[in-house]
Structure 1
Amino acid sequence: MEYNEKPESRINPRLESDTPQIFRTLRNIDLNLLTIFEAVYVHKGIVNAAKILNLTPSAISQSIQKLRTIFPDPLFIRKGQGVTPTAYATHLHEYISQGLESILGALDLTGSYDKQRTITIATSPTVGALVMPTIYQTIKDKFPQLLLRNIPVTDVGLQLSQFQTDLVIDSSVYSTRALSHHVLYSDRIMMVARAEHPVFKTSHMQETLSQYEFTLLMMEGAAHTDLRKRVNEMFPERQISFSSYNLVTIAALIGSSDLVGLMPARFFRLFARCWPLQVVDFVPLRDESVDFSLHYNKLSMRDPVLQSVITAIRQAF
């Protein structure tokens, strides 16, 4: 078998060499000139275009003259009280109108353009499993043109301040002045063990729990500092034998061992479908809860589409 050592052919080999020339050409074309071109074309006259754009007919005429120096065509021919486009102008109109419409759709300054757009929401995998079905249905019902993208939470301050994501949903609180948040729901903290755990066979819960090893969900920063402090006071001699960043892993370990762990009620109900988990009714925990909030950059409220999405998500919960 012969081996072909010929180099791979480049796809569109002129692209790189043509790119600088494209930029130089576009730099010489004022977007305002294209807007004036469209106004004259659509309204079939310099006077009509001037009224629409709130400019003088003289300014419109000067702009058309500039376009004639760029394109090899007169573009418009006087006819009666108005003008008629040349065949070349009609050709230009087909592309310019599409280009301006695409620019307006991308900018969507008023939120009135029915264009596709992707809204990015950062969550942990577990939080995403709980909230994204509700959010997805809400967005599809109210904003069917929008697409949703779910990414992991890494550094919330950085992700939102640098607009790497539109929204973040988690249980932490951030004090950065540039960020704002709304609590979506509050969830009770529960103690969980496997259904056949020995702890359910005794009536002396407080003393019995100290005999068993616990799991720990690792969270970065100072999140839930007060809650952690109160839990440590409830279980001063608690022994942590397994810790993980992933609550799904913790639930799996609890369901297959004598480990005991803490988790919000909604997570318990979700995980109980997968593993034989049962709530340990520990009285001191009954008043403990954690808030799950929607976080966003305050500047996002200047975006009418995102503002509407935030309002819709808040109402959904």
Structure 2
Amino acid sequence: MQTLPVSEKIVSLTRIDLNLLTLFCLIYSVGSISRVADMLDISPSAVSQSLRKLREQMGDNLFVRSGNILLPTVYADELYDNILPIIDKLATLLPLSSQIKKRRLTLYTESFISPLVVPDLTEKIVRMNSDISLLHRTADLNEAKITELLNMRQADVVFSTFSVESSNLSCQKMSDMTLVLIAAKDNPLYGDTVTEEMFREANLVGYNTKNEKIIYHRSIVDKKFRSSERCLLTTSFASILLIVSQTDCLGIIPEKVFSTYAGMYNLKKLDTPFTLPQFSIYSSFRKEMNKLLYSLLADFSVNNPT
């Protein structure tokens, strides 16, 4: 293949409007013409017209519609990977460009997984001295919601109890989550073990969630071993820990949470006459995820205490 002189290469680039490429990167990032229009304060039709021009110049459809989102073609993936570093570099040369060096990663978790993931992930970022900052959000998650968050570019990585199967997403198991039954150390009703009868009559504080897996396992335990409803359902681990530490109530929490806060809240772990359910924690992310996030997740695991 003949190499063009630099001047001829530059001349050839004049045939492409740089604005079209920057617009392409925005559509690729958010997966929505209307959202890009809102970001730029222009009409959706203007965005659509620009995309049509770029499609004609590139000879590729670039995006295909799937429901309410635009999914990139294979050519669009390659184009984005090649031009994004160039546009990022050009942006830093602008006189009014931001001098912020960190790359922000948006992280979603189910609420009860947050204390198992976010502190360790933040610690690793600090230890790596990387140019990454985290934005953490919680949501009630299922496979459909996780797929939507990632495909719509609303999240970079999602931690959940769901193993997501999708052609354009990757999912890896991070760890197993073991649950334990806890009580206050000075609770006069319980020693180190509870019987089925004691558990059946106990005031039990529970975690309020829409997670189908947890609801299913909880219903099995309640049907077989409970004679009354839980005295409290809450989305706050802090509330569970505080109430258990100050009352005769029992609570069920992840073992890692117990290991971290047992001393602070003066808690003890109780042996049960039945096995509490165990869940796995997975991380899900887009396959075209950048190298920074790959390096961050490469050896990251949510370790339970041994």
User: TM-score, normalized by length of structure 2?
Assistant: 0.59
Tell me the distance in 1 between the aligned counterparts of 2:195 and 2:168.
Answer: 46
How far residue 224 of structure 1 moved from its aligned partner, in angstroms, is: 2.6
Structure 2 residue aligned with 1:246: 236
Contact 2:201 2:227 in 1 (8 A): no
Deviation sequence 1:264-292 (CA, Å, 0-9, x none): 10111223233222111113126x32222
Contact 2:244 2:251 in 1 (8 A): yes
**One-letter code aligned to 2:123:** Q
Structure 1 residue aligned with 2:109: 123
1:227 aligns with one of 217, 224, 242: 217
How far residue 246 of structure 1 moved from its aligned partner, in angstroms, is: 1.7
Structure 1 unaligned spans of 5+: 1-48, 64-99, 108-114
2:124 aligns with one of 138, 142, 154: 138
Matched, 1:147 2:101: no
Structure 2 unaligned spans of 5+: 15-83, 92-100
Tell me the distance in 1 between the aligned counterparts of 2:194 and 2:118.
Answer: 40
Contact 1:134 1:316 in 2 (8 A): no
What percentage of aligned pairs have identical amino acids? Answer: 16
Tell me the distance in 2 between the aligned counterparts of 1:62 and 1:222.
Answer: 53
**One-letter code aligned to 1:146:** I
Secondary structure at the aligned position of 1:190 is classed as strand
Return closer, same or farther for 1:191/1:177 CA change in 2, 3 Å cut-off: farther
Matched, 1:209 2:196: no
How far residue 167 of structure 1 moved from its aligned partner, in angstroms, is: 1.1
User: TM-score, normalized by length of structure 1?
Assistant: 0.57
**One-letter code aligned to 1:250:** I
2:296 aligns with one of 293, 309, 313: 309
Contact 2:182 2:267 in 1 (8 A): yes
How far residue 207 of structure 1 moved from its aligned partner, in angstroms, is: 1.7
Contact 1:124 1:170 in 2 (8 A): yes
How far residue 190 of structure 1 moved from its aligned partner, in angstroms, is: 0.8
Tell me the distance in 1 between the aligned counterparts of 2:193 and 2:127.
Answer: 50
Contact 2:205 2:232 in 1 (8 A): yes
**One-letter code aligned to 2:5:** K
Return closer, same or farther for 1:249/1:222 CA change in 2, 3 Å cut-off: same
Return closer, same or farther for 1:60/1:152 CA change in 2, 3 Å cut-off: same
Tell me the distance in 2 between the aligned counterparts of 1:182 and 1:251.
Answer: 30
Deviation sequence 1:6-46 (CA, Å, 0-9, x none): xxxxxxxxxxxxxxxxxxxxxxxxxxxxxxxxxxxxxxxxx
Deviation sequence 1:54-73 (CA, Å, 0-9, x none): x47xx84996xxxxxxxxxx
Deviation sequence 1:196-231 (CA, Å, 0-9, x none): 223325977222222222122111141335422442
**One-letter code aligned to 1:269:** S
Return closer, same or farther for 1:211/1:315 CA change in 2, 3 Å cut-off: closer
Tell me the distance in 2 between the aligned counterparts of 1:217 and 1:146.
Answer: 32
